[in-house]
Structure 1
Amino acid sequence: MIPLLGDLLTGGGAAELTAAVLLLLGGAAFLICAPVLALIDLREHRLPNRIIYPWALVTLGLLPLLGLLLGDASAVLRAAAAGLIWALVFLGIRLLHPPSLGMGDVKLVLILGIYTGFLGWPVLGAAVVLACLSGGLVSAALLITRRADRRTAIPFGPFLLLGAGLALLLS
């Protein structure tokens, strides 16, 4: 995301500058919502709609405009597909085994899929891998240190946010 932002800021045109501002606004929304959601999920094991829904609206408003300004309709379609695919996979897991994931996680990955999918399938893949890897490592450490057992509920939202944030930052 940083190279794209640099290219937009140095592109010289009004469309590029406007796109850079929109990208910065989307990044600011991520930086505001992600830590708040992570902390709430760690404390309360929930991802509140009063944060998820406005963030989703901001995301759905900014990214299509960004795609339009960049002349990249395929990025917008890819972002929508990525968000839907990730959310449908999580919804399937939720329906098959409800204790595994909450509906907040399903809604969250829709947003995170849109963010990462906009930048490309490899970014989405990196977000998924980083989320699962970080969640798995922390869970394993908790099990090894006996601070958790196999029935302990561990919120997945912070790891989803961490994985997506790292994937976006490193892309």
Structure 2
Amino acid sequence: MPTAVLVGVALLGGLVGLVVPSLARRFATPPARPRPVRGAWVLLGPTVAASVFAGLVVAVGDDPALPVFLAIAAVGLVLARVDLLCLRLPDPLVLAAGVSALGGLTGAALLSGTPGRLVGALGGAAVAGAAHVLLALLPGSRLGFGDVKLAAVLGAPLGWQGRDALLAGLLLPHLLHGGLVLGLLAARRVRRDTLLPLGPALLAGAWLGVVLG
């Protein structure tokens, strides 16, 4: 991947990171009030978004599905922010990511003449969705069906990348979330009955699955 492309996509990610907070406030329920951001936090969002985009460029390369991965990542950054604000994954945003995944990957499969990868993407979505439905139905589960729907959407790009990426993308979110919960409990920042958002871990785990898979 040419350095100029990598830098350009990273800069695009940084621009996305700048608008994520304002977009997230529009979808937060109840509406979130703007908060002043100072110091290093001003750079955190754009830096994270730029890193996400750059990682996808390196992992996906010149695959025609790269724009699809970037579009899902952009929506995912907003979803993560909303979930952190109000413990919700709004259906319109999840639907936007799902439409991007289905339509974009279908187009990429046609352009590249690789219909088998589209089958893998659809299979990944089905496996990820079914696995999280089962988790949501377990006694005492705190997994919401917004999480289930997001997991199914993320299963499509993971399935496009292959079995290893899909397995990593299914396991890593729960390892990340579990580690975070244990750390917060140990630090006495939360209680056992405190509800914590899973969406950011699902998105981070899926990104790692693509990058590492």
Say whether residues 1:109 and 2:165 are aligned partners: no
CA offsets per residue over residues 119-153 of structure 1, 9 Å max, x none?
A: 10100111122211211111110010011122111
Say whether residues 1:148 and 2:194 are aligned partners: no
Say whether residues 1:5 and 2:61 are aligned partners: yes
Could you tell me which of 100, 105, 130 is aligned with 1:88? 130
Say whether residues 1:167 and 2:209 are aligned partners: yes
CA offsets per residue over residues 22-42 of structure 1, 9 Å max, x none?
A: x23212212311111111111
* Long gaps (5+) in structure 1: 9-18
RMSD across aligned positions (CA):
1.7
Please tell me the residue identity of whatever aligns with 2:212.
L
Judged with a 3 Å threshold, the aligned counterparts in structure 2 of structure 1 residues 122 and 147 are, in CA distance, closer, same or farther, namely: same
- TM score, norm. by length of structure 2: 0.68
* Long gaps (5+) in structure 2: 1-55
Is residue 60–residue 66 contact of structure 2 (8 Å, CA) maintained in 1? no
Is residue 128–residue 164 contact of structure 1 (8 Å, CA) maintained in 2? yes
1:4, distance to aligned residue in structure 2 (A): 4.5
- Secondary structure of the residue aligned to 1:51 is helix
State the number of aligned residues: 157
CA offsets per residue over residues 61-119 of structure 1, 9 Å max, x none?
A: 01112122222222111111111111112112223347521111011011110010101
Is residue 26–residue 58 contact of structure 1 (8 Å, CA) maintained in 2? yes
Could you tell me which of 170, 189, 196 is aligned with 1:128? 170
Is residue 94–residue 149 contact of structure 2 (8 Å, CA) maintained in 1? yes
Could you tell me which of 72, 75, 96 is aligned with 2:114? 72
Provide the rounded CA distance (Å) in 1 between the counterparts of 2:167 and 2:83. 23
**Greater fraction helix:** 1
The match for 2:22 is none
Could you tell me which of 138, 141, 149 is aligned with 2:180? 138
The match for 1:33 is 75
Where do 4+ consecutive residues of structure 1 move more than 6 Å? none
- TM score, norm. by length of structure 1: 0.84
Over the matched positions of the two proteins, sequence identity in percent amounts to: 32
- Secondary structure of the residue aligned to 2:61 is helix
Judged with a 3 Å threshold, the aligned counterparts in structure 2 of structure 1 residues 94 and 36 are, in CA distance, closer, same or farther, namely: same
Provide the rounded CA distance (Å) in 2 between the counterparts of 1:126 and 1:74. 20
